[in-house]
Amino acid sequence: MTTKERVHPAVVGRTVSIVGIGSYLPERILTNADLEKMVNTTDEWIITRTGIKERHIAAPDQASSDLGAEAARRALADAGISPEAVDMIVLGTITPDMGFPNTACFVQAKIGAKNAFCFDIEAACSGFLYGLEIGRQFISTGSMETVLVIAAEKISSILDWEDRNTCVLFGDAAGAVVLQARGAAHGVMASTLGSDGTLAELLMLPGGGSRSPTTEETVRNRLHYMKMAGREVFKHAVTNMTRAAKDALQRSGLGIEDIRWIIPHQANLRIIEAIGERLGVTKEKLVINLERCGNTSAATIVVALDELAREGKLQKHDKILMVAFGGGFTWGASVVEWDK
């Protein structure tokens, strides 16, 4: 563990469980065949290098808050909880509706969670796990009773559709969970969060912030699109996700043999396979929806978790290991006992 990392063992206080979950994928599907008509690429090139076959793309009039609001409604319905009962909304995104107000406030208005206070976190692909740990801390101390954690991304809005190295990788999606204390249940057992800002230039959106405000020149130079050094990101992703997964397992007191499902960030099939190999698990334990969804940044893990639940593959007391890596760099891992 580096000095940039913080491990969060089981909190002395109330245990915190996922009591509701939901996700939303936009209707439009963009296939590799469609991309062949848009940019210099082929279906074979994309599948061989990434494992992605298609991805969902939000409509022009849909913002991240629209995706997040729909996922939130589904999570609340799953939990049987009214929007008015939500005390706090924390939303992970790198594609906010606008610079401010925060996107969580837009979601609050859309779902009618009038009693919640709201804020966004920007941890890129690790955003859901960061939000999960933030929500857990508020509930475990008794400050909050019901927390809504959302990950919502319209990544298509920041892609350079002339850059085949990035535009083929990503899709749009949102997912949400409702957190509450639940007696003696284990719930979120342990987590590890980490960051390394010295590597920020390897994955970033350079234009539009206070460092590089929007001008004709920044638009002309295409600085308002995602930039990524793919090979370097791959290397750091495998290293840090593997380490985070092992740290979280250690803090939970479990071994990899105790884990029923591993949900890795859905960035690239090669990354997922490399992590599985380093953890010593078979592919059957790895939850993968990458081929249908692409990389949806902060939403990948919670969307995959929701699909697993809806397919009836989660049993009470199943142990789940979730691990992510994203721009910042940020990374994290959480061990959760499913007790719905």
- pLDDT tens, residue by residue, 97-146: 999 999 999 999 999 999 999 999 999 999 999 999 999 999 999 999 99
Residue 158 contacts by C-beta under 8 Å, 6 or more apart in sequence?
Answer: 94, 95, 205, 224, 225, 226
What per-residue confidence (pLDDT) applies to 2?
43
Mean pLDDT for the stretch of residues 267-290: 96
188-337 architecture in CATH? 3-Layer(aba) Sandwich (3.40)
pLDDT at 59 over 50: yes
What single string gives the DSSP state of each residue in 27-95? SEEEEHHHHHTTSS--HHHHHHHH---EEEE--TT--HHHHHHHHHHHHHHHHT--GGG--EEEEE-SS
Mean pLDDT for the stretch of residues 47-67: 98
- pLDDT tens, residue by residue, 8-56: 444 457 999 999 999 999 999 999 999 999 999 999 999 999 999 999 9
pLDDT at 202 over 50: yes
Mean pLDDT for the stretch of residues 203-224: 97
Q: Mean pLDDT of all residues in the chain?
A: 95
Catalytic-role residue among 105, 167, 186, 265:
265
* 185 pLDDT tier (thresholds 50, 70, 90): confident
pLDDT at 311 over 70: yes
* 4 pLDDT tier (thresholds 50, 70, 90): very low
What single string gives the DSSP state of each residue in 148-173? EEEEEEEGGGG--TT-HHHHTTB-EE
What per-residue confidence (pLDDT) applies to 12?
56
Mean pLDDT for the stretch of residues 219-235: 96
Instruction: Pinpoint the residues of the chain covered by CATH 3.40.47.10.
Output: 5-181, 188-337
Enter the DSSP assignment of 178: E
Percent of the chain residues past pLDDT 70, beyond the cut:
96
Question: Hey, what CATH topology would domain 5-181 get?
Answer: Peroxisomal Thiolase; Chain A, domain 1 (3.40.47)
Mean pLDDT for the stretch of residues 56-79: 98
265 a catalytic residue: yes
Catalytic-role residue among 118, 125, 167, 293:
125
- pLDDT tens, residue by residue, 229-277: 999 999 999 999 999 999 999 999 999 999 999 999 999 999 999 999 9
Beta carbons of 104 and 148 less than 8 angstroms apart: no
Overall pTM > 0.85: yes
Enter the DSSP assignment of 284: G
56 a catalytic residue: no
Distances (CA, A) of 54 to 43, 172, 184, 326: 10, 11, 42, 21
> Which strands sit side by side in the sheet containing 146-154, from one edge to the other?
16-24, 172-181, 146-154, 88-92, 117-121
289 a catalytic residue: no
